[in-house]
Amino acid sequence: MTSTRGCSPHPFSGFVKLLGRGKTARRALTDTEAEEAFGMILDGAATEAQIGAFLMLLRVKEETPDEVAGMVRAARARCSASGVEVRVDLEWPSYAGKRQHHPWYLLSALLLAGSGRRVLMHGCSPHAADRLFADAALQELGIAPAASWSDMQRQLDARHFSYLPLGVASPALQALMDRRAEFGLRSPVNTLVRHIDPARARAGLRSLHHPAYAALHVGTALALGSNNVAVFRGEGGECEVRADADTPLSMVRAGSVSDAVLARSLAHRSPKPECPSVAALRAVWDEGSHSDYGIETVLSTAAVALLALDEVSDMDSARDAARQLWQRRSALPDSRT
């Protein structure tokens, strides 16, 4: 056996030690420590064992807003547009995939884009076989993902909407997301990717699946100095307001938080489809079929986005504005444009 006596500790080992010393000795990382540690991970300066230990120790301890904010800053520093200046009105993270309902939120995003607002959606490669992710769903709608930063800019200029895969924005982050199958559960990366805001948009949405994560997302937005960010529990974890449920909403503006509860627009619970479908979206958009749940979900989600953009003062005005957009909608975008 080779002796390790006298060997210098690995530069990353101190971060694992801070998190893994036990309940009484461990402590949370500062935002600076988290930024340095995650930067080393993204730069390939940590071993495979260290990466797994770091992410799972954080998960067991439960990450703090400062830790997530530090990791987001490290990701942003390595996730740049490479000199391409991109103007975005609304940033829309999409990382959960849909399992129980159709991905109505996609129509909300396209509704806003069709009215001239520049919407950037970003998301990951599929990490669950039983879910429909934005990447695949958008391609079924005829909308190709951006292949590069410049392609993203071209798409935003042409149709005011672009979907940026995480693997294009940051291959290292996508590789960390891919570890979910290896770990068998989510890691803090699933939280932080929702905050990377690759183009520094004017406003943004943050979704969560479990109510316990609301404070973490709000705290992270505050720690990052984010402005005009709407945080809410979305259907299945996506940025989609459920029309048949009351939705707690936190709005982060200029360092302060306002909380509200969005009342459901449908009194009855909607039956769930056998599987999520893109065909259902096109049929409702083109008026080939009608869905109270689908239309109300699209309008409610678009209304929250308008609130985040600070274009309306209250939810009633936001719903009215969203309904007007729906009445004036044009044909769905085409990837050939």
Q: What is the 3-state secondary structure (H, E, C) of 106-127?
A: HHHHHHHHHCCCCEEEEECCCC
Q: Coil, helix or strand for 160?
A: coil
Q: List beta partners, residue 208.
A: 233
Report the DSSP pairing between strands 161-165 and 203-208. unpaired
Higher pLDDT, 34 or 337: 34
User: What gap in Å lies between CA 173 and CA 189, rounded to an integer?
Assistant: 8
Q: Taking the alpha carbons of 156, 158, 163, 165 in that order, is the dihedral positive or negative?
A: negative
CB-based contact 90:120 (threshold 8 Å): yes
Nearest to 230 by CA among 252, 254, 202: 252
Long-range contacts of 169-172 (CB under 8 A, 24+ apart): 169/79, 169/122, 169/196, 169/198, 170/42, 170/75, 170/78, 170/79, 170/196, 172/41, 172/42, 172/44, 172/78
Mean pLDDT value of segment 71-84: 84
User: What gap in Å lies between CA 201 and CA 89, rounded to an integer?
Assistant: 5
pLDDT of 2 strictly over 70: no
User: What gap in Å lies between CA 20 and CA 191, rounded to an integer?
Assistant: 21
Copy the structure tokens of residue 105: 């939120």
pTM of the model: 0.93
pLDDT of 186 strictly over 60: yes
User: What gap in Å lies between CA 257 and CA 254, rounded to an integer?
Assistant: 8
Nearest to 196 by CA among 72, 66, 70, 69: 72
Nearest to 336 by CA among 148, 105, 141: 141
Q: What type of residue sits at position 148?
A: S
pLDDT of 1 strictly over 60: no
| pLDDT on residue 81 | 63
Copy the structure tokens of residue 59: 């998960």
For 26-63, how does the pLDDT look when each residue is reduced to its tens digit (9 = 90+)?
899 999 999 999 999 999 999 999 999 999 999 999 99
> What is the DSSP secondary structure assignment for residue 235, as one 8-state letter?
G
Q: Coil, helix or strand for 205?
A: strand
The maximal CA–CA distance of the chain, rounded, in angstroms, is 74
| pLDDT on residue 331 | 80
pLDDT of 332 strictly over 90: no
| pLDDT on residue 22 | 79
| pLDDT on residue 209 | 86
Residue 94: pLDDT band (50, 70, 90) is very high
Pick the CATH number of 13-77 from 3.30.1280.10, 2.60.40.10, 1.20.970.10, 3.40.50.10490: 1.20.970.10
| pLDDT on residue 210 | 87
| pLDDT on residue 8 | 79
Give the CATH number of domain 90-327: 3.40.1030.10
CB-based contact 19:29 (threshold 8 Å): yes
Could you tell me what percent of the chain has a pLDDT over 70? 96
User: What gap in Å lies between CA 164 and CA 146, rounded to an integer?
Assistant: 5
pLDDT of 133 strictly over 50: yes
Question: For the chain, which residues make up each domain, given as ranges?
Answer: 13-77, 90-327
Mean pLDDT value of segment 186-206: 95
Q: Indicate left, alpha or beta for 330 from its phi (over 0: left) and psi (-120 to 50: alpha).
A: beta
Q: What is the mean pLDDT of the chain?
A: 92
Q: At 256, which helix (H) or strand (E)? A: strand 256-262
Q: What type of residue sits at position 169?
A: A
Identify the residue whose tokens are 């294009």: 168
